[in-house]
Amino acid sequence: AIHGQTAAEVVYHRADAESYVAASRRAWADGRKAAFAIVDPADPAHVWGMISMSIAGPCGNCGYWTVPAVRGWGLARRALVLVCEWGFTERGLAIVLAEINPENDSSAQVARAAGFHRSHEIPVDPASPTGETERVLYLRLVSDPPPD
């Protein structure tokens, strides 16, 4: 589902997904991360994507993806808006970040549509499996007006 969204070819298997879910449950339990599925409302077993927020003090950092068949429907934008509002109201966050590959125009468009502002480029760990060298940092403050 996320093939083609990273700079490197990364293959994900069922065991990778199970490991991710287990790690996300542990991180949710200790307050470090919240992960949500983006599902078909008519069939919640049908996953259209996911959004997660890593949490450190008053700061959240979001990542999201959707399957190609539903891109352009506004689902990622809506999920990002909802997760930000949850973080601001339920977790007391002051800021939410999104680190976006500079070549991923669609993801940047989602962030802007969800009320995020482009800040600046940040370096990526050279050992990153994606091969990226930098990301663009987008941010949304609790004081920012909600998006239209």
The string of DSSP letters for 48-92 reads: EEEEEEEEETTEEEEEEEE-GGGTTSSHHHHHHHHHHHHHHHHS-
Q: What is the pLDDT of residue 1?
A: 37
Q: What is the pLDDT of residue 10?
A: 57
Q: What is the mean pLDDT of the chain?
A: 88
Q: What is the pLDDT of residue 11?
A: 60
Amino acid type, 106: S
> If the chain, 148 residues long, is cut into consecutive pieces of 10 residues, what is the mean pLDDT of each piece?
43 80 89 92 91 96 94 95 96 97 94 97 82 91 93
Q: Is 118 helix (H, G, I), strand (E, B) or coil?
A: strand
Q: What are the tens digits of pLDDT across the range 90-121? A: 999 999 999 999 999 999 999 999 999 999 99
Q: Are 83 and 36 in contact (CB under 8 A)?
A: yes
Question: CA–CA separation, 8 vs 51, rounded Å?
Answer: 21
Q: What is the pLDDT of residue 9?
A: 47
